[in-house]
Amino acid sequence: MAHRLFEGKEHAEAYLRFRVSPSDHLIQQVVDFVEKKKGRPFDLALDVGCGSGQGSTLLAKHFASVVATDISPAQIEMAVAHASMPNVTYKLSTAEELPLATGSVDLVTAMSAFHWFDRPCFLQEAHRVLKPHGCLALLNYTLDMELSHEDCPSDTLNAICEEFYAALRPHFSPHLRSTSKPLYKESYEAIPYPHKEW
Ligand SMILES: C[S@@+](CC[C@H](N)C(=O)[O-])C[C@H]1O[C@@H](n2cnc3c(N)ncnc32)[C@H](O)[C@@H]1O
């Protein structure tokens, strides 16, 4: 079953302003995995559930072209209006029916989005569009991580974050409860690809 959130115009505007981008380091780790398992050329990446496109933009540095899709017209509108890379094409589409040809994609990503999809349908579609030896990367963050910053002692920083998350917890989606980690772990273990990295 798919879960539909983050789709309204106001939400899309807030995403564009405040959404934290994945790090270059994380994207590089994904690209290194594709290099190792499939090799070059890096023709096409597909970023599913792209939101306002922060992650899609980072992929564009590594791939000849990127198709970035989202179910929300408002998110796609924001992404198109603020696009900064000419090799990214934004398309309105569901994760469960991807607008690309069979066997055409080197890398499929879903960044903080996979948990909202109809996961079995999406995984089947991702498999369909991937080239032989193409890669699938499911990225997400958790709240139970240890944080550190040069300007703040770790204990203080982690205590502040814990207080912040405690205030938010009553509003978390019942679908995810307090963490999405078990959902990802379960999918990771069930995905039948021979080469996997957690
Ligand atoms: C939490 S946001 C993440 C956006 C972006 N990837 C990021 O990291 O900032 C999840 C996105 O997935 C999209 N989404 C949710 N369900 C979807 C579905 N079934 N098909 C395609 N996109 C979907 C939402 O509209 C939203 O933009």
Number of CB atoms found within 10 A of residue 20's CB: 8
Each of the 198 residues of the chain gets a pLDDT tens digit; together they read 777 777 788 988 998 899 888 999 999 999 999 999 999 999 999 999 999 999 999 999 999 999 999 999 999 999 999 999 999 999 999 999 999 999 999 999 999 999 999 999 999 999 999 999 999 999 998 887 788 889 989 999 999 999 998 998 888 888 877 788 999 999 999 999 999 999
**Residue minimizing CA distance to atom 9 of ligand 1:** 51
* Per-residue tokens: 105: 């994609």
CA dihedral sign of residues 157, 160, 161, 162:
positive
Distance in Å, CA 115 to ligand 1 centroid: 9
CA distance 147 to 144: 9
| Residue spans per domain, the chain | 9-142+180-190, 144-175
Residue 156: C-alpha distances to residues 142, 160, 165, 178 (Å): 19, 6, 14, 22
Domain 9-142+180-190: top CATH class: alpha beta
CA distance 168 to 161: 11
Indicate the SS3 state at residue 130: strand
Residues in the ligand 1 pocket, defined by CB under 6 Å: 2, 4, 6-7, 19, 49-51, 54-55, 70-72, 75, 94-96, 111-113, 116-117
Distance in Å, CA 167 to ligand 1 centroid: 24
